[in-house]
Amino acid sequence: MKRRARREKDRIFKLFLVLALLAGVAALLLLLEEVLRKGLPWLDFRFLTSFPSRFPEQAGIKSALAGTLWLLGLTAMFAIPVGVGAAVYLQEFAGRNRPTAFLQLNISNLAGVPSIVYGILGLAVFVRALALGRSVLAGALTMSLLVLPIIIVAAQEAMRAVPGSLRDAAFALGATRWQAVRRVVLPAALPGILTGIILALSRAIGETAPLIMIGALTFVPFVPAGPLDAFTVLPIQIFNWTSRPREEFRLIAAAGIIVLLGVLLTMNAGAVWLRNRYQRRSES
Amino acid sequence: MKSRIRPSGRYEGLIIGVLFLCAVVSVLTTAGIIITLLRETIGFFREVSILEFITETRWTPLFDPKHFGILPLITGTLMITAGAALVALPVGTATALYLSEYASDGVRRLLKPLLEVLAGIPTVVYGYFALTLVTPAIRSLFPETNIFNAAGAAIVVGIMIIPMVSSLSEDAMTAVPRSLREAAFALGATRREVSTGVVLPAALSGISASYILAVSRAIGETMIVTLAAGATPRLTLNPLESIQTMTAYIVQVSLGDTPFGSIEYRTLFAVGMGLFTLTFTLNIAGALITRRYREVYQ
Amino acid sequence: MSSTSNQVLGADGLNLWYGTHHVLKGITLGITRHRVTALIGPSGCGKSSFLRCFNRMNELIPESRVEGRIHFNGRDINDPEVDATEVRHRIGMVFQKPNPFPKSIFDNVAFGPRVNGYRGDLGELVETSLRRAALWDEVHDRLGQSALALSGGQQQRLCIARALAVEPEVLLMDEPCSALDPASTAKIEDLIGELKERYSIIIVTHNMQQAARVSDQTAFLLEGEIVEYGRTGGIFTRPEDPRTEDYITGRFG
Ligand SMILES: Nc1ncnc2c1ncn2[C@@H]1O[C@H](COP(=O)(O)OP(=O)(O)OP(=O)(O)O)[C@@H](O)[C@H]1O
Ligand SMILES: [Mg+2]
């Protein structure tokens, strides 16, 4: 008797776990269905190549897409070298002492600072103090600071996974510390580092709040021609359309979301492809 | 053994210096955040008394008569956070438990990327979801619900932080040594008894760290609440009403054209300071707890 | 002990600590040029640690501390004037587990010359090194393939070739055969016999037969101290210290 009750309890418990898990998955599917159903009819070549407009049927995301690509490129330019550099320093050169522990705690803490606080920092430092104005450069610098912890943590983890015996081998052949890092540790850690970089850049592309803070415009009828130009990005355009009461704008917001998710999906697929390529090359 | 100058060893010192500077950027970021917030916050408190800031029950800096009581923003933030926690903590924990104790490798390989997708969706998209799908659903159940309301935003913030709870908790559960589970199984325990009696208690500190970090994330979430929770700071605990969070207020100010140096402009930093202090405390607590449980099992 | 000119390496009052753990306790010992010297002793007695003193690998372990002198051709290698990378490229090392880089066979062998700024014909150097390590015939047609695709024994010979490519005078080998099958082990033992024409070799081994087969000199290390050191034939047939006899006859705890 008792055994059967126990088994019954077990089954109910497992059912509860599965239901909880399905709740998350269902939310994801619901979201995708909603966005695709509303947005797809609006998604055409004209939408991709038109500037924003007061009239939903004429509005497009050309300037937002261009702004997002600008932001992506500039952020990658700043955040990748600095992030990987910091990770190399912390993982391979810094002593195991208090200052290093402090740096490490500081980084994990920065990863949890709300993105809007980075926006406040960007507004005060890049827009005002450095007088970069509401430019795509100011936006990219802000985003770089925001994603730096992600790159650092991922790169450190990837380097930590490189066996110590490979470092020993390099040192025993007369390599300096930097040579061991550049020729052995970094190549071996590359797939993991790439994954972290893509994750970080995806975050940069999806962020809205910090860019609103530094004053990325919501109505930009042009494509930025240089890093000091004003700009808008996909999330801000989506935010703008979503917050308008007219139903049609909600629909093109959905179309904008499809484009944004498409960009993110492409990047992540690229990451998977790169990772597989490097893994195959270093293992076979 | 004469010391030859080696072609590649020459720049070693320089390179290490540059790498060190890269690491220093993270310290400068923290310092920059603190200094920026402090400077304008001090300016703010020259004009507004701290007592008013924390006891006044109205927050109307943008129109006359101006009142500077942060309480409505705090209750708004807490309501969103509590609602989100109500959704995410049980669902996230259950998901983690399923993945670590029940799921086969194949199921895990299928589900974990799905959760990662959930974690990778931009918050503005979640905001859209809250406004166009969740709120209408709530309104069909409770017709008196405002178009902008705390409940819809809170549920969606909760969905957003599920992956954070589940992945961090799962890490903590996986770190529980196999031998502990085997000991319980050998005594005739069922899988549920092992899960709730052995794994959950052993992973407790890691799980609580994940809760703390997820709550901190919910407090700092901006776009969902800006789009769906409203822009009316109000001292209420009714989730069906329109409210405003600290983050949404900051966005509201920066969307308007507030002149630099004005008191309205400074409220942005005072509220930012509050937000930063709150999340900073939680993050440090989470990091310390995580480090402790890592030490236990390594 | 042999005369100084015949002595390529020497330890003089060598002490080593890891943190507070005193691992090597005042070791004095000379290594003869163009001979194979075997280091034997029970697990944890400090053989690997001793070996790592000769190419300053211990200084990569933050909490380690060395006292005393290591001479290399009469010069103290721990002299602040001396560059550790220079020491390591004159004194090569082969590890217990084969540790090829996840790169091609060619790039593995070329690694040392490249980091040391070698200016000659790299292809030729790689070929010579692979030939000396008795691996050339097996891999000459697939130098561009990943080294990780080789068998364990081939990987270990690749690691030997990689160490030879920097043209060292001394080769330190830490249980080079312990991860290998008997056939690969025999190959490497033969190889050691050939290599001593050009190099001085110190080999750590747990295998008494192997020590007896390949070495000219043997040192027995116990709890960080040298118990006995002399010609291999003598040590294995007429050990002077009862502890040595206990160890080589397998009666040791
Ligand atoms: N990196 C290290 N940090 C601290 N202690 C160490 C370290 N490496 C070795 N030791 C200690 O130093 C002592 C000697 O170790 P060593 O590796 O030299 O022994 P060994 O004779 O090579 O043993 P084995 O035959 O098992 O390889 C051991 O007690 C070991 O625990
Ligand atoms: Mg050893």
Q: Give residue-wise pLDDT tens across range B206-249.
A: 899 999 999 999 999 999 999 999 888 988 889 999 999 999 99
Where does ligand 1 bind, in terms of residues with CB under 6 Å?
Answer: C 18, 21, 23, 41, 43-49, 61
In this predicted structure, the answer to whether residue C181 has a pLDDT above a threshold of 90 is no
Query: With pLDDT > 90 as the criterion, what percentage of chain A qualifies?
Result: 63
**A47-217+231-283: CATH number:** 1.10.3720.10
Distance CA B23, CA A107 (A): 9
**What's residue C220's pLDDT?**
94
Distance CA B157, CA B101 (A): 27
* B71-292 is classed CATH 1.10.3720.10: yes
Distance CA B209, CA A275 (A): 31
**What's residue B297's pLDDT?**
58
Q: What is the mean pLDDT of chain B?
A: 89
**What's residue B148's pLDDT?**
93
For the whole model, what pTM was predicted?
A: 0.90
Q: Which residues of C touch A282 (CB under 8 A)?
A: 102-103, 146, 148
Nearest to A178 among B12, B118, B163 (CB): B12
Chain A interface includes B287 (CB < 8 A): yes
Q: Where residue C252 falls among pLDDT bands split at 50, 70, 90?
A: low
ipTM attached to this prediction: 0.91
Whose alpha carbon is nearest atom 29 of ligand 1? Answer: C44
Quote the tokens at residue A96: 């195991």
Q: Where residue A57 falls among pLDDT bands split at 50, 70, 90?
A: confident
- Whether the CB-CB separation of A114 and B247 falls below 8 Å is answered with yes
- Number of domains, chain C: 1
Write the DSSP symbol of residue A123: I
Domain CATH number, residue C159:
3.40.50.300
**What's residue B4's pLDDT?**
42
- Whether the CB-CB separation of B171 and B294 falls below 8 Å is answered with no
Q: Where residue C4 falls among pLDDT bands split at 50, 70, 90?
A: low
Chain B interface includes A272 (CB < 8 A): no
* Closest to A212 measured CA to CA, from A125, A145, A120: A120
**What's residue A283's pLDDT?**
47
Buried b (16+ CB within 10 A) or exposed e, C95-126: bbbbbbbbbbbbbbbbbbbbbbebeeeeeebb
Q: Which residues contact B15 (CB under 8 A, 6 or more apart)?
A: A178
Candidates B1, B6, B10, B12, partner chain C, best to mutate (most C CBs within 10 A) = B1
Q: Which residues of C touch B11 (CB under 8 A)?
A: none
Judge: A282–C146 Cβ closer than 8 Å, yes or no.
yes
CA distance C219 to chain A (A): 23
Q: Where residue B5 falls among pLDDT bands split at 50, 70, 90?
A: very low
Distance CA A26, CA B87 (A): 14
**Max Cα–Cα distance, chain B, nearest Å:** 88
**Alpha helices, H only, chain A:** 2-39, 45-49, 62-88, 98-110, 115-122, 136-160, 164-172, 177-180, 186-206, 209-213, 234-242, 247-283
Asked if the structure places residue C35 within a domain, the reply is: yes
Strand, coil or helix: B50:
helix
Nearest to A173 among C60, C62, C88 (CB): C88
**What's residue B2's pLDDT?**
37
Burial class (CB in 10 A: 0-12, 13-18, 19+), C219: buried
**What's residue B3's pLDDT?**
39
Mean pLDDT of A108-124: 94
The string of DSSP letters for A176-190 reads: -HHHHIIIIIHHHHH
Q: Give the mutation target among C15, C20, C21 for probing the ligand 1 site: most ligand atoms within 8 A of CB.
A: C21
Which H or E run contains C221? Answer: strand C217-222
Distance CA A272, CA B113 (A): 12
Q: Which residues contact B262 (CB under 8 A, 6 or more apart)?
A: none
Q: Domain limits of chain B? A: 9-46, 71-292
Domain span at residue C128? 7-248
* Closest to A249 measured CA to CA, from A54, A36, A43, A32: A54
Asked if the structure places residue C1 within a domain, the reply is: no
Mean pLDDT of B159-169: 94
In this predicted structure, the answer to whether residue C75 has a pLDDT above a threshold of 70 is yes
- Whether the CB-CB separation of B144 and B240 falls below 8 Å is answered with yes
pLDDT tens for residues B8-47?
456 888 999 999 999 999 999 999 999 999 999 999 999 9
pLDDT tens for residues C185-241?
998 899 999 999 999 999 999 999 999 999 999 999 999 999 999 999 999 998 889
Mean pLDDT of C25-31: 94
Burial class (CB in 10 A: 0-12, 13-18, 19+), C127: middle
**What's residue A226's pLDDT?**
86
Chain A interface includes C97 (CB < 8 A): yes
- Whether the CB-CB separation of B98 and A21 falls below 8 Å is answered with yes
Q: Where residue A172 falls among pLDDT bands split at 50, 70, 90?
A: very high
Task: Note the ligand closest to the C-alpha atom of C174.
Answer: 2
- Whether the CB-CB separation of A241 and A256 falls below 8 Å is answered with yes
**What's residue A247's pLDDT?**
87
In this predicted structure, the answer to whether residue B287 has a pLDDT above a threshold of 90 is no
Asked if the structure places residue C70 within a domain, the reply is: yes
**What's residue C2's pLDDT?**
42
**What's residue B294's pLDDT?**
67
